[in-house]
Chain A
Amino acid sequence: SSGINAEWPLRPGATEASSTTFPLTFGSPYNAVHDNALVKQVDLPSTTGHFGILPHHVPTIAILVPGTISITNEAGDVAKYFVSSGTATIHPDSSVQILAEEICAVADIDDGAVRAGLEAAQGKLSSASSEADKAAAQIEIEVYQSMISAA
């Protein structure tokens, strides 16, 4: 579901978002991709499924899962990034904060390295002894598989 509530009235104080854009902060600890930049649309992967954000989206708190985020900027260009995990917040004033532990432009993903990493992770899973090790290896495999389908 896209989660857009078309009947939601413009809340007082929602001065930043226009009818077509909203302010987005999207970054990792080391790299601020957007800092309160006006964008048109963001599609992101969360624990409750993939969903899209347009201006005046209903306020939401979401947890990211490893996957691809697409951001459509004011000019209409779409940029894709792979994120590891993190949080997404949509405030009543329509501002959006998406914070991820690791961000990588999809164009920068090295297929060879990903496949090698996937094989190594699968090896780890088969040789894992404790539940914690198995879970960690499983997470690694899911992330690599996600990266392969992103590129």
Chain B
Amino acid sequence: AVVSTQSGHYGRGGMATLKDIEMRLKSVKNMKKITSSMKMVSAAKFARAERALKPARAYGTGAASLYEKNDFDTSGKDSVLLALSSDRGLCGGIHSNVGKMVKAAHAETPITKAIIVGDKAKAILVKVIGDTFLSCFNNVGKKPTSFTDALDIAEEVLSHDYDTINIVYSKFKNIVSYNTEEKPVPSLESVESNAAIYVYDEVDSEVLRCYQEFTLANIIYHSMKECEASEQSSRMSAMENATKNAGEKIDALTLQYNRTRQAVITRELIEIISGASALE
């Protein structure tokens, strides 16, 4: 530390000065501390999200069983896009993959109505389909998703007319991977107009309406829980990689620092010795 304040103030021939390297070293070391602690926080949040996903999956799969076991029309012209993401980044490709899928779908069949959950997806999609936004939700990602959050979103969706809802979300596969998927959910009208529903006993308009509303909230809840697990595991990987890269950078910079320090000392010695020999 003593050496750096006295020598190496003036860079020679484009070589980084000792002070420059020291500043870079300091900032990369700080970055490593931050990414390392973010990784640990994500790991804890991921453990919680994965635990919560298990019952949510049974719940959501049960809810969607009616649509899975029967072939309701989801090719509707009047469809609403529901894009699920969150407000926070540094989670690898989670948000950009949702954006990619939406853009690809939009290129095939133009999207006319969209509800966006999460500021990140909003920022990505506003330029492409901003004029189709019916409503946007934020404050997502800080705390684990609750069923009430899903209810709020379902309420908003149901306040609009549509044939089909297309939910774009990140489905959790395992700790190192997820899939961005699109899940269609038929509307009340689609279900009512299909003869298959009347296989079920006691089906009247009111029962079907309540059933559809609740089921939609359930499917949204399940999808959001999948997103949560995918996002936290992705952030864990991203932060682990960042920490590892920072560590490698620190090693490289430390080597460079030591070499530069030695070069500076050598230069000074040469000056002193040649100065002294000139006096003789």
Contact = CB atoms under 8 A, between A and B. Distances in A.
A25 interface: yes
A76 interface: no
Contacts of B56: 29-30
B59 A27 contact: yes
Interface residues of B, number: 27
B25 interface: no
Given A63-B210, A99-B218, A91 B69 contact: yes
A89 B55 CA distance: 18
B59 to A, nearest CB: 5
B201 A60 contact: yes
Interface in B206-231: 207-208, 210-211, 214-215, 218, 221
Contact of A63 (B58, B200, B201, B211): B211
Interface residues on chain A, size class: 20 to 34
Contact of B199 (A30, A92, A101): A92
Interface of A is mostly: strand
Most B Cβ at <10 Å: residue of A58, A90, A91, A93: A91
Contacts of B221: 29
Contact of B202 (A60, A87, A91, A93): A60
B52 interface: yes
Interface of B is mostly: helix
Interface string B172-209: 00000000000000000000000000011111000110
Interface of A: 3, 25, 27-32, 35-36, 47-48, 58-63, 86-87, 89-93, 95, 97-99, 101
Interface of B: 52, 54-56, 58-59, 61-63, 65-66, 69, 147, 150, 199-203, 207-208, 210-211, 214-215, 218, 221
Which 3 interchain pairs have the tightest Cβ spacing? A97-B62, A32-B58, A32-B55
Given A63-B207, A98-B62, 18 more contacts: A25-B65, A27-B55, A28-B55, A30-B52, A30-B55, A32-B55, A47-B207, A59-B199, A59-B201, A61-B66, A61-B207, A62-B207, A63-B214, A87-B214, A87-B215, A89-B62, A89-B66, A97-B63
